[in-house]
Amino acid sequence: MTADELIDNYVADVVGLLPRAQRRDVALELRALLAEEVAAAGDDRARELLEAFGRPAEVAARYGPPVTLIDPADTRRFLTLAGGGAALIAYAAVLHELTERTGPQRDVERAVQQSLPVMLAWLGLLLAGFAIAAWRRRRRPDKGWRPRSVPTDRINRAGHAAALAFFVLGTLVLLDPARAVGAIAPAAREGFVYDEGFLRVRGPVVLAVLVVSLLIEAVLVWQGRWRRLLHRVDVVHGLVMCAVLTWVLGAGPVFAAAVTDEAAKGWVGLLVLVAAVDLAVKTHRLSVRHAMGH
């Protein structure tokens, strides 16, 4: 390839990435300038010179104001939300598969693969949201940082005490839901009888996890504030709770009646997803507090 052909090749690659209105003019000027550079350096150094000129995409980008879809300052948050959302969607697909299918029909890998369009839709929405936010900020810069109300370790003791009472009551109902429902609607009693298999191993494990959550809440009410150790115990407990409930969903029926079992598993699946998001938020806050030395 001759030096002129190399220059033409390079210029075509650059102007191909420019807005249409700019192409002809830039091509004319850039070709003349490069020809002059090559003439000064010698034809045999044309390729070396063009390589040193830069990647055509980078050179083309320098011809106009930079176009950024996502502000560099937002990129870390974008990646966190993109990765976190994609992981949550995959987890939801796994929970759905565990709930809907049993035995050889169950295929977790296929379920995750089938969730790919939802993940892509999430990424697309997120990208559009961040791009619109960046565009608006460029048009009307925000005022920067505004102080928020100072987060406090203190809790509303009365509120948490009421919540604890409610959770205790809920746990007592879960010990034997058939009896609790039967007391109100005897006809529905049969639908809420636990499966024998569930009662053997999974039931006691779930009960243990629930009791630990009651203990955490009780300690919180007693202390009147979140202490660092309790925060950590709460995060670990959240992790264990998600793992145990996922296992419960996948290891067989919870209720003997199929209709109740299906409905209960749907709600438990939703609860696990909410708990996973809550866990991620708590872990992040705990990490920030740790960095602040609180």
Partner 1 sequence: MVGGAGEKLEQELRRGVVVLAVLSQLRTLRYGYELRQSLVERGMPIEEGTLYPLLRRLEAQGVLRSEWRTAEGPPRRYYALSDDGAKLFEGLTATWRGLNTAMDDLLEGEHDR
Regarding 36 and contact with partner 1 (CB under 8 A), the answer is: yes
CA nearest neighbour of 265 among 143, 141, 97, 124: 97
The correct pick among 1, 12, 52, 258 for binding partner 1 (CB under 8 A) is 52
What does DSSP assign to residue 225?
B
Regarding 63 and contact with partner 1 (CB under 8 A), the answer is: yes
Cβ neighbours of residue 125 closer than 8 Å, sequence gap 6 or more:
none
| Residue 42 or 170 having the CB closest to partner 1 | 42
The correct pick among 4, 37, 100, 278 for binding partner 1 (CB under 8 A) is 37
Regarding 54 and contact with partner 1 (CB under 8 A), the answer is: yes
| Residue 63 or 167 having the CB closest to partner 1 | 63
Regarding 174 and contact with partner 1 (CB under 8 A), the answer is: no
Rounded-to-integer distance, Cα 174 and Cα 185, Å = 16
Instruction: Tell me which stretch binds partner 1 (CB under 8 A): 35-43, 102-110, 154-162, 184-192.
Output: 35-43
Residues in the chain: 294
Please count the CA atoms within 13 angstroms of the CA of 73 that sit on its side-chain side: 5
Instruction: Tell me which stretch binds partner 1 (CB under 8 A): 25-33, 77-85, 123-131, 238-246.
Output: 25-33
| Residue 52 or 205 having the CB closest to partner 1 | 52
Distance of closest approach, residue 76 Cβ to partner 1, in angstroms = 21
| Residue 34 or 220 having the CB closest to partner 1 | 34
Hey, which residues does 255 pair with through a beta bridge? 194
> Residue 64: phi, psi to the nearest 5?
-140, 180
Contact 273, 88 (CB under 8 A): yes
Q: DSSP of 108-137, one letter per residue?
A: HHHHHHHTHHHHHHHHHHHHHHHHHHHHHH
Instruction: Tell me which stretch binds partner 1 (CB under 8 A): 1-9, 51-59, 210-218, 282-290.
Output: 51-59
Regarding 28 and contact with partner 1 (CB under 8 A), the answer is: yes
Distance of closest approach, residue 58 Cβ to partner 1, in angstroms = 7
| Residue 54 or 85 having the CB closest to partner 1 | 54
Please count the CA atoms within 13 angstroms of the CA of 26 that sit on its side-chain side: 21
The correct pick among 32, 125, 128, 277 for binding partner 1 (CB under 8 A) is 32
The correct pick among 20, 62, 139, 200 for binding partner 1 (CB under 8 A) is 62
Chain residues in the site for partner 1 (CB under 8 A): 22, 26, 28-30, 32-37, 40, 52-54, 58-59, 62-65
